[in-house]
Every structure is written in structure tokens, then in C-alpha cells.
A and B are shown apart, each in its own frame.
Chain A
Amino acid sequence: MAASGVTERRGIPAAAFVEDVLSYLNESALDVNSALAFLQERLQQYRVVEMKLLAQQRDLQAKIPDIEKCLDIVATLQAKKDSGEALIADFEVSEGIYSRARIKESDSVCLWLGANVMLEYSCEEATILLKRNLENAKASLEVLVADLQFLRDQVTITQVTIARVYNWDVHQRKLRQAASPKES
């Protein structure tokens, strides 16, 4: 019945492709209404997972530009260090209020690691760490996008199956109506 050969992907069950509606209903021993109810429930479950994956995707898509900004700043600080001048920057103290800072040449930066932890790194180490984080984030995003594509395919298969089961039922009813007047 499932012609795809993939039964699930990272916890998401694959939707079985139905070759033939009648044999599908016989093999699963379901009447039309139960089959439709089952498929609708599957569709709901897929939607729930889709919401979760989309939220994760948004988080990652916000994280990547942040890491790139950090890399930019560290590179700027390193370049300034070579020139021997201090970097003067205006930064936001509070919303709408800015102050000026003079950043003297320095070999190290502090990186915020999360969970109220900040560590000091040399500029080179910081660049290596940030680049690694960036690559990991991009790789995770790729996997996530592939997951979403797989999920959406399963949603489409399920929607098509629902339509086909429904149409088959309509067709059967028409056949029965056409047949019954002849019997009496």
C-alpha cells in the first residue's frame, strides 16, 4: 500500500499512499466515515508538528544574523587592534539613550554563552567559536527545512486520500441509487 518505502522521518510517521480506495477500506476494516475520521485526526497531528517545526525555524533564522553580527564586531576589533587606535562607538544605554565608549586595543572579548554565563576569549578563539556556532545553526536549519518538506508532503498525501475516499463514497452512493429503482 505504501509505495514510498519511507515509513517515518525523525519521529514523523509517513502517510501511507492508497493505491485503491476499496482495498484500502477492506484491508483496514474501516467503513468510510471511520476512515475519514482517522485521516482527519492524522491531519491534525501533522499540523501540530508543523507549528512546532515552524517555531524552531523562526528561532534559528533569528539566531543566524545575530551570530554574523558578533563575527563582524570581533573582526572590527581585531582590525582596530592592528592599527593601534582605540575604537570609538556609540551604544544604547536604554531605549533612545545612547552613550559613547572608547574601546582600547584588546586581545580578548567576552562572549555571552547563555544561562547567565559569559566567558572571556582571545579574539582568534572567539572567531573560531562563533564560526562553529554559525555552521551548526545553518546545518540545523537545513535539517529542519528538510523535515518541514517531508511533513508537508505527508499532509498533501493525507489530504488527497481524504478527497479520494470521499469521492469514492459519493460514487458508490450514486451507483446504489441508480441500481435500486431497477430492483423494485
Chain B
Amino acid sequence: MQQAGTSGSEVEVTWEDQQNINKFGRLNNRLHELHDEIKIAKETCENLEDASNELILTDEEIVRFQIGEVFAHVPKEEVESRIENMQEVTAKNLEKLEEEKETVVSQMAELKKILYGKFKDSINLEED
């Protein structure tokens, strides 16, 4: 993340600067984690959609629904309501993650402004 300054001029790094750099690093890590978590949440949403569609198409009364490690025989209505609940939970989770991601991105933009403002070319905050 850090590059050696090209001009060799000494811009002093204060403890406040160091804390800003640390915070930027933490936010960047969290951003990567959020990307992965959002991807998983979206996949789960899609899977639940597919499952729900399959349910509508099937004419069986008893559906094999996975609970834990086994497939329990569950009546169709109960499976429908279970899947609906899971969809609600996943959708709320996804919304929370997207909100957190927006906060993180804007905080990172703020810090970039501050750090580039002081250090200009002596610092590199871009993704390699």
C-alpha cells in the first residue's frame, strides 16, 4: 500500500496520519469481506427463489426439506412458509450488508481525500 516518496522530501507522518492510514486499511479489509458476504447472500436468495418455484410446480403433497443433515418429509404448506421465512431473513440480511458497504465506501473516500491531500504522490491507496 505504501510507496517510497520519489522526491525524497520529508513529509512528517503524525500519529493522527498513522491512525487514518490504519483506519483505511481496516475499512478496506471490511470491504473485501462485505463483497464476499453479499455474494453469498445473493446466491442464497437465488436458491430460495428456485426452491420456491419448484414447489409451485410440484404436485407432491410431501416434500423432502433439508433440516440439518437430513431430508425431513414435510407437508408442502409448511415448506412454503419455511421458505418464505428464510427469504425474508436473507433479504433483510442482504439489505443490512449493502447499507454497511455504502457506509464503508464513503468513509474510505473521505480518508482518501485527507491522505492524498497531505501526502500526494508519497502514498498509494489504490487496489493493486
Interface residues of A, Cβ cutoff 8 Å to B: 3-4, 17, 19-20, 69-70, 72-73, 76, 87-92, 98, 101, 149, 152-153, 156-157, 159-160, 163-164, 166-168, 170-171, 174
* Chain B interface mostly: mixed
Extra 17 A-B pairs, beta carbons < 8 Å, given A73-B68, A91-B71: A17-B18, A70-B68, A73-B67, A73-B70, A76-B72, A88-B73, A91-B69, A98-B71, A153-B26, A156-B1, A156-B18, A156-B22, A160-B2, A163-B4, A167-B8, A170-B4, A171-B10
Please name the 7 residue pairs, one residue from A and one from B, whose CB atoms are nearest each other, closest first.
A73-B68, A3-B15, A88-B73, A69-B68, A90-B71, A89-B70, A91-B70
Residue of B nearest to A90 (CB): B71
- Give Cα A170–Cα B9 distance, bound, in whole angstroms: 10
Contacts of A19 in B (CB 8 A): 14-15
Contacts of A166 in B (CB 8 A): 4
Contacts of A87 in B (CB 8 A): 72-73
- Give Cα A19–Cα B15 distance, bound, in whole angstroms: 7
- Give Cα A166–Cα B2 distance, bound, in whole angstroms: 12
Residue of B nearest to A18 (CB): B13
Q: Which of B2, B3, B4 has the most CB of A within 10 A?
A: B2
* Chain A interface mostly: helix
Contacts of B12 in A (CB 8 A): 20
Interface residues of B, Cβ cutoff 8 Å to A: 1-5, 8-10, 12-15, 18, 21-22, 25-26, 29, 64, 67-73, 122
Contacts of B68 in A (CB 8 A): 69-70, 72-73
| CB contact between A90 and one of B10, B21, B26, B64 (< 8 Å): that residue | B64
| CB contact between B8 and one of A17, A76, A149, A171 (< 8 Å): that residue | A171
| CB contact between A157 and one of B4, B5, B18 (< 8 Å): that residue | B18
B70 touches A72 (CB 8 A): no
| CB contact between B22 and one of A89, A153, A168, A170 (< 8 Å): that residue | A153
A168 touches B10 (CB 8 A): yes
30 CB < 8 A contacts A-B: A3-B15, A20-B12, A72-B67, A88-B72, A88-B73, A89-B70, A89-B71, A90-B64, A91-B70, A91-B71, A101-B70, A149-B26, A152-B25, A152-B26, A153-B25, A156-B21, A156-B22, A157-B22, A159-B2, A160-B13, A163-B4, A166-B4, A167-B4, A167-B8, A167-B10, A167-B122, A168-B10, A170-B4, A170-B8, A171-B10
